[in-house]
Amino acid sequence: MELTSSSVTWLAMVILVITAAVTKIATGRKRSATDLTCKMPPPPPVVNSIALLRLLPTLFRSGLPAILHQLYMKFGSVFTISVAGLLKMTFLVGPEVSAHFFQGLESEVSHGNLFEFTVPMFGKEIAHGVDSATKNEQARFFVDALKPARLRIHVDPMVQEVEDYFAKWGQHGTVDLRRELEQLLLLISGRCLLGKEVMGTMFDEVCSLFRDIEGGVNMMSVFFPYTPLIPSNRRRDMARERLHAIFSDIVRSRKQQQGDGVDKDVLQSLIDSRYKVDGRATTEAEVAALMICLLFAAKHTSAYTSVWTGARLLSHGKFLAAAVDEQDEIVRQHGINGGRITDHYGSLMEMRTLHSCIKETLRLHPPVPVLTRTAHKQFTVRTREGHEYAVPAGHTIACPIVISNQVPYIYKDGHLYDPGRFGPGREEDKVGGKFSYASFGGGRTSCVGEGYAYMQIKVIWSHLLRNFELRLLSPLPKSDWSKTMAATKLARVKRPIALNPRSNRPLPPVVNSIALLEHLPRLFTKGVIALMHDLYTRFGNVFTATFLVGPEVSAHFYQGMDSEISQGDLYKFTVPMFAKGLDYFAKWGETVGLAWAESCSHTSQLRHTFDATKHTPNSQKIFSEIVRSRRDTNQLPAEQDRWKLRDRTRGHGTPEGPWGNGEWLRDTNVTGARLLTHDKFVTEALEEQKHMIQKHGDHICYNVLLDMDILHCCIKEA
């Protein structure tokens, strides 16, 4: 269910009012004992209800970040919003006042019940459904599974998914960037997080179930997370139960496996995790819940940031050019075999410009614009100007990342997109000190998937920058903070590809419909070959619908990786010809083709194959016998007799003929038509066959064929 800006604003206010009211009731409005002789710092300045009413036009016109920025400029880095005395929410802006927010003990500051609605989404076995000690242990499981030492094993699978996905984009066109990247990130998550079992036959089902989980995040589910009267809640609960069943079966199966056959993916890492308190292993239900939670976080954060990275880069030519130049340098340093990179992990670590572009995107567009906690004990903060404030227990405290990431005394022109601010000589986030950059949180609540997120975003955009010329067709989208889960509006990207996809050369000349109509008489009278020759003479050796004529432009056609260029569905009609069980396109190269290449690589095996097969369907053997049939006749065949010989040749391709099932029938016909209409070459072939008979006798064997140079050249020329 889509939420408007106003509905979500009121939703947030009502949630906080309820939280504040419950806190007041629980504490019984008791005040802790105070030492009157000790002078306490004053509470933060308060924004009362009347002041908030004055800001409502700004709220509806520009959104919540605009209001927070106005309040920050007026009251400073610490202020409290109070609504009728029930709702008291204290905002902490900037690194100087945020330390306790990020580093405070769980007994002093925590999420409280603010995220109770996530329990029926993931399960009561993890996160906000368990006590703090168990939750901290489970956070450690994520840290171990996604630590840098283990991230390396995910790079190659990520690259493979990205290459396979973008290979389907075609030559040029327009795409919905958000939809494309969301689908791609689901595939990456399935490959690296969920395991091969899910990627097999259950991936589509898991994706569908996951969408039902996402659909459970709406205004009604936040208010009433457990009621079955809401349809989205029922779908969410059924999807969660089914996902738990799927992952429980996988966990049970993997626990029965032993040795090196077990995958070293994130799923297996969670299965192998142990609680430090009692040493017990994770249960099937816990692993299932952890996987749903991890997939939810990975998809939303990475999809949101990937789209905004593209939108920002394509709107700033200077930084786009710098990122492209970096990719060129990476290819020069790490590329082999025509520029293909083999050390993907090492190259990703060197992409400092692209890393800064992504980091700057996150500074301006943090996936979660405002982080919230509940203060269980009073604490004191000191501002940059030296003012001290006491934040009372029971307040909801908020750290507006979207404002803190742009404070002017840390970030110069913080409202502008400038990845150079993180480069050598500036490093504004480090100069500003701890918690100056908090897009991934900080302290004990920092995001454990930061490294994983950067890695998969860099894999995606490094491939796009190296292989495509991109242009943003729609205007730079605006951040839409009106949804419960942060999102961005759709972007359209045009991606033309030439022979060198990122070159400045124009696309090949196009043979349009009118030009094709002009050549139709030529097609019907002389055939498609004559038509192709006319187009080649007129347009040169490259023209579109893209034909590549000549060796200079054909290298990629023959040598390109399957992820870059393949037969696609062009030969799908052969599937019912051969067998349903044979995936002709995907398996031909690695089964039949490789087996034949291996066989033919050894001369002895090829000789054995020929000699053991009495009726080998080979063009050279066929024509050596046809030519020999004329050796006692000085008169060459007349025109009509030559076509009879062609029919005779075709007869050899029938099941009754002596050369089997006609596998080389087409080549045989063409060679016969050419050879029997050129007296000079028939004579030369005849003389060679007489020499073969004198040297080897009438029997045609492997060694005899190797000596037939003239006949071989005739077949090759045909």
**What is the C-alpha separation between 136 and 447, in angstroms, rounded?**
13
144 is a domain residue:
yes
> For 474-622, where are the E strands, in sequence order?
479-480, 487-488, 492-494, 542-543, 547-548
Residue 445 pLDDT > 60:
yes
Q: Could you tell me which residue, 660 or 321, shows the higher pLDDT?
A: 321
- Ranked by mean pLDDT, the top range of 166-175, 502-511, 655-664 is 166-175
Q: Could you tell me which residue, 591 or 398, shows the higher pLDDT?
A: 398
Q: What is the mean pLDDT of residues 108-116?
A: 88
User: Model confidence over 234-250: pLDDT tens digits?
Assistant: 999 999 999 999 989 98
Residue 648 pLDDT > 80:
no
Instruction: Check residue 479 and give its pLDDT.
Output: 64
Q: What is the mean pLDDT of residues 187-196?
A: 86
Instruction: Check residue 567 and give its pLDDT.
Output: 76
Residue 284 pLDDT > 70:
yes
Same domain, 206 and 94: yes
Same domain, 548 and 644: no
Q: What is the mean pLDDT of residues 520-540?
A: 79
Prior bond of 323 cis (ω within 30°): no
Residue 609 pLDDT > 60:
no
Choose the final residue of a domain: 460, 492, 524.
Answer: 492
Q: What is the mean pLDDT of residues 318-326?
A: 95
596 is a domain residue:
no
Instruction: Check residue 604 and give its pLDDT.
Output: 45
Residue 488 pLDDT > 80:
no
Same domain, 322 and 210: yes
Q: Residue 447 annotated as binding?
A: yes
Residue 594 pLDDT > 60:
no
Residue 701 pLDDT > 70:
yes
500 is a domain residue:
no
Q: What pLDDT band is residue 647 in, cutting at 50, 70 and 90? A: very low
Same domain, 646 and 523: no
Instruction: Check residue 545 and give its pLDDT.
Output: 63
Same domain, 418 and 533: no
Same domain, 417 and 478: yes
DSSP H helices in 652-708 = 665-675, 679-696, 702-706
Residue 89 pLDDT > 60:
yes
Looking at this protein, which amino acid is placed at residue 440? F
User: Model confidence over 362-382: pLDDT tens digits?
Assistant: 999 998 899 999 999 999 999
Q: What pLDDT band is residue 691 in, cutting at 50, 70 and 90? A: confident
Is residue 380 a contact partner of residue 390, using CB atoms and an 8 Å limit?
yes
Is residue 357 a contact partner of residue 312, using CB atoms and an 8 Å limit?
yes
Same domain, 475 and 517: no
The enclosing domain of 305 has a CATH number of 1.10.630.10
**What is the C-alpha separation between 616 and 340, in angstroms, rounded?**
41
Q: What pLDDT band is residue 120 in, cutting at 50, 70 and 90? A: very high
Q: What pLDDT band is residue 670 in, cutting at 50, 70 and 90? A: low
Look at the block and give the residue holding tokens 């800001």. 55
Q: What is the mean pLDDT of residues 124-140?
A: 91
Instruction: Check residue 627 and give its pLDDT.
Output: 59
Instruction: Check residue 335 and give its pLDDT.
Output: 72
Residue 499 pLDDT > 60:
no
What lies within 8 Å, CB to CB, of 413 at 6+ separation is none
Residue 482 pLDDT > 80:
no
399 is a domain residue:
yes
Q: What is the mean pLDDT of residues 298-312?
A: 89
560 is a domain residue:
yes
Please say whether the dihedral angle defined by the alpha carbons of residues 58, 59, 65 and 71, taken in this order, is positive or negative: positive
Same domain, 124 and 52: yes
Q: What is the mean pLDDT of residues 474-493?
A: 50
Instruction: Check residue 564 and give its pLDDT.
Output: 65
Does an H or E element contain 92, and which? Answer: strand 87-92
580 is a domain residue:
no
* pLDDT above 70 coverage of the chain, percent: 74
**What is the C-alpha separation between 301 and 487, in angstroms, rounded?**
9
Helix orientation angle between 709-717 and 679-696, rounded to the nearest 10 degrees: 150
Least confident window among 6-10, 93-97, 112-116, 200-204: 6-10
Q: What pLDDT band is residue 12 in, cutting at 50, 70 and 90? A: very low
Q: What pLDDT band is residue 621 in, cutting at 50, 70 and 90? A: low
The DSSP 8-state label assigned to residue 615 in this structure reads T
> For 343-395, where are the E strands, in sequence order?
370-375, 379-382, 388-391
Instruction: Check residue 579 and give its pLDDT.
Output: 56
Average pLDDT of every residue of the chain: 77
Instruction: Check residue 551 and give its pLDDT.
Output: 80
Instruction: Check residue 501 and give its pLDDT.
Output: 39
User: Model confidence over 544-575: pLDDT tens digits?
Assistant: 766 777 887 777 778 666 656 777 777 777 77
Q: What pLDDT band is residue 430 in, cutting at 50, 70 and 90? A: very high
Instruction: Check residue 625 and give its pLDDT.
Output: 63
182 is a domain residue:
yes
Residue 645 pLDDT > 90:
no
**What is the C-alpha separation between 311 and 479, in angstroms, rounded?**
11
Q: How many CA atoms lie within 13 A of 648 on its CB side?
A: 14
Instruction: Check residue 352 and give its pLDDT.
Output: 96
Q: Which of 715, 709, 706 has its CA nearest to residue 688?
A: 709
Is residue 630 a contact partner of residue 686, using CB atoms and an 8 Å limit?
yes
Same domain, 528 and 660: no
* pLDDT above 90 coverage of the chain, percent: 34
User: Model confidence over 467-481: pLDDT tens digits?
Assistant: 888 888 877 766 655
Same domain, 68 and 133: yes
702 is a domain residue:
yes
- Domain range for residue 535? 513-566
Q: What is the mean pLDDT of residues 7-27?
A: 47
DSSP H helices in 497-574 = 513-518, 520-526, 528-539, 555-559
Same domain, 381 and 481: yes
Domain count for the chain: 3
Is residue 229 a contact partner of residue 297, using CB atoms and an 8 Å limit?
no
Instruction: Check residue 624 and give its pLDDT.
Output: 66
Same domain, 666 and 538: no
